[in-house]
Amino acid sequence: MITQMKKYTFLVFHRDYEPFLTQLRDLGVVHITQKAAGLIEDDEQLQASLQHEDELRRLLKQGAPDQLLAERANIEQSIADAQTAAQQAAVWGEFDPARIQALKEAGYTLRFFACSASAYQEKWGIKVSEKEGKTYFVNVNNENYADYENYATLLPSPEKSAAQYMQEVERLKAQLADANARIEAWQNENIDKLQAELKEARQKIDWQRVTLSTDKLAEGSLCLFEGFCPIDKEPELNAMLAAAEVYYEETDPVAEDATPIKLHNNRFAKLFEVFTGMYGWPTYGEFDPTPILAPFYLLFFAMCMGDAGYGLVLIAFGLLTHYKKVNIEMFEGLGPIIATLGVGTTIVGLFLGTFFGMPLLEASWYPEALKHLIICGNVMGFDAQMVLAIGIGVFHICLAMVVKALCFTKRFGFAEALSVWGWVLLIVGGLIVLSVSALLNLPSQVTKWIIIAIASVSALAIYIFNKPGRNPLLNIGAGLWDTYNMATGLLGDVLSYVRLYALGLAGGMLGGAFNSIALMVLGENPTWQWLPFLLILLFGHVLNILMSALGAFVHPLRLTFVEYFKNSGYEGKGQIYQPFKK
C-alpha cells in the first residue's frame, strides 16, 4: 500500500534559510520538491559536484588510480607474452642465442620450419623436435628449400630460449607482486577517506539541488519551497516547525502535485517491491501493485520451475546467500527472496508431481496419501496442468480489470470509469454467471436472459456513456475501438499463461532425461560406473536448475508487466520518496 502524504509549503526569511535547511536535513523526513532536471542540472556548480561524485564512485569501484592499474595491466600483459614466447621457443630445446648470432656472422643463416610429422624428410633440414603431430626442423643457408616450400611453414627465429623466457616471467612476477602491494597499500590508506568524501559529495549535491529548487521572492529576501512528509512523520515535523518559528502551510496533495510515494507493505510483499521498481513506481493516485504482484509472481515462478527438489536447492542457496556463506555480487541482498521462491517452488512442485526430474506418481517411497494431491489426468481432453495454467491466467486478467475499474473510479470518478466498469461487468460478470450456471445447473433460459441483461447494461456503458458530455457518435466510435482492442488482445493475453505449464513441463522432462542417461551409464552391476553416474546427475541438474531459474525469473515478469499491468491500467510513472537527510 501507499503511505498517505502531507504537502508542506515553506516561506523562510533569507537569513534563516540555511539554518532551517540544516534542521530539515537533520530531521530527515521531508521530500523536497525539485524543479525539472533541465532547470537545475545545467547549473555549473552542480555539474562540477556531479562530476566529482562520478570520479569518486569510479575510483572506489576500480580500487586504485588509473596509473597504478595501468602499470599492473602492462606487467600482466608482459607476463602473458613471455609465457607464450616460452611455449613457442620450447620446441627448439635449450640453445644460446649468441651462438646463433655468431653463426650468422660466420655466413651461416638458420631458418626455422614446422611441418606435418608424416611429411617430414631428413634432407629438408636438421630435426629438432616433434610435438603434437608436427616436426620442427632447422635449415642452413636455405638448402633444398624448393623441395619443401609447399609442405613446411617458416617460423620466426627465436630470440631467446624457453629457459630465458621463463626467467623473464619470474622477474615480471616479482614486479607484479610489488605493483599489487602498492595498490593494496593505496587502498588501505585511501578507501575509507574516499567513502567519507563520497558521502560528503552526495550531501553537497542534495543541498545544491534543494537550493536550486527554491524560489527567491521579494528581491531575494524570502525563500519559498515545497516538500512532502509521510503522515506518520507529521508530528515530528510539526514539532520542529513550531520550534523553528517559520511560516508554513500544510495541505493534502492534489492530482497536479508531483507527490512522491512511500510503500508500506508486510514482510512478504516487501520482498517483491524490487520487481515493482523494475517496471516503475506507482503515482500517488494509483494502487500499489506489490501486494497482488507478490503472491502471483511467487506462484508463477514456482510453476515455471515445477520441481520440488529444485525448490529445496533454492531454499539452501537463498539461506547461504543471506548468511554470507555464499558471496556472489549479483545476488547481494537477495537471499530472503530466493529462499521464499524456493519454498513456493517446493510446495507447488509437490502438487505438480516432480522431484529432481522423478515423477512422484511412480515413486514407491512417496506416500500414497500425498499422491492423491498431485494434479494429473485430463480435463475436457486437455492436460489438467495446462487447464490450471489457463484458469490462473483468466483469474489474473479478471482481477486486473477489477483493479483498473476501482483505481480509475478513485482517481477520476465513477462517471469517467463507466466504460471500464462496462467491460468488467461484461467479461468478469459473464464468466461468473456461466460458472454459477454450470455448477448449479441453472435452466438455460435463465442463464440466457441474465447474459442478455449483462450485455445490455455493458453496451450502454461501453458505447454510449463511456465519456460523459461527449458527442454520442464519438462515444460509439471509441467503444468500437475498445472492442477491437479487447477482442484481439484478451485471447492472446490468456494464451500467454500457457508458458507456466510449458516451462514447468520442459524442465521436468529435461531433468528426467538426465536421470535416464545417468541410469543407463550406471547399469545393473556398477563398480567404477558410480563416478560418471554422479557426474552426469550433478552436471545435468545444475544445468537444468540454471536454465529453469532463468526462465522462471523472466516469464513471470512478462506476465506481470505485460498481461497484468496492461489490463489493470497501471502506469508506473511515480517517483519514490527520498527524504532530504544526511
**Cβ count within 10 A of residue 439:** 8
Burial of 478 (0-12, 13-18, 19+ CB in 10 A): middle
For the stretch 42-77, pLDDT in tens is 778 888 888 999 999 999 888 899 899 999 999 999
The DSSP secondary-structure symbol of 324 reads T
Location of C-alpha cell 531459474? 549
User: Is 522 strand, coil or helix?
Assistant: helix
Residue 175: its pLDDT value, please?
94
- Alpha-carbon distance of 522 to 542, in angstroms, equals 19
Indicate the Cα dihedral angle 218, 222, 223, 229, nearest 10°.
-130
Cell numbers at residue 221, please?
Answer: 529576501
Residue 40: its pLDDT value, please?
64
- Alpha-carbon distance of 175 to 79, in angstroms, equals 10
143: region left, alpha or beta (phi > 0 left; psi from -120 to 50 alpha): beta
The DSSP secondary-structure symbol of 360 reads G
Cβ partners under 8 Å of residue 384, min gap 6 = 375, 376, 377, 378
pTM of the model: 0.78
Cell numbers at residue 378, please?
Answer: 485430463
Q: What DSSP string describes 119-150? A: T--GGG-EEEEEETTEEEEEEETTTTHHHHTT
- Alpha-carbon distance of 92 to 111, in angstroms, equals 12
Burial 35-65 (b: 16+ CB within 10 A, else e): eeeeebeeeeebeebeeebeebeebeeeebe
- Alpha-carbon distance of 246 to 13, in angstroms, equals 8
Question: Do residues 419 and 475 lie in contact, with contact meaning Cβ atoms separated by under 8 Å?
Answer: no
Inter-CA distances, 403 with 118, 226, 408, 458, Å: 78, 32, 8, 18
Residue 165 CA, chain-centre distance (Å), reads 46
Question: Do residues 261 and 577 lie in contact, with contact meaning Cβ atoms separated by under 8 Å?
Answer: yes
Residue 529: its pLDDT value, please?
83
- SS3 helix, strand, coil % of the chain, rounded to 5? 65, 10, 25
Cell numbers at residue 349, please?
Answer: 512442485
Indicate the Cα dihedral angle 301, 303, 308, 310, nearest 10°.
-40
Q: Return averaged pLDDT per consecutive 10 residues of the chain, 582 residues in all.
A: 91 90 92 73 81 91 90 94 91 85 84 91 89 90 77 88 92 94 92 91 88 86 92 92 87 88 92 92 89 94 93 94 86 91 94 91 87 86 89 92 88 81 85 83 82 84 75 78 78 89 90 90 82 91 93 93 89 90 86
Strand partners for 209: none
Residue 68: its pLDDT value, please?
92
For the stretch 394-436, pLDDT in tens is 999 999 999 998 988 888 788 878 888 888 888 888 888 888 8
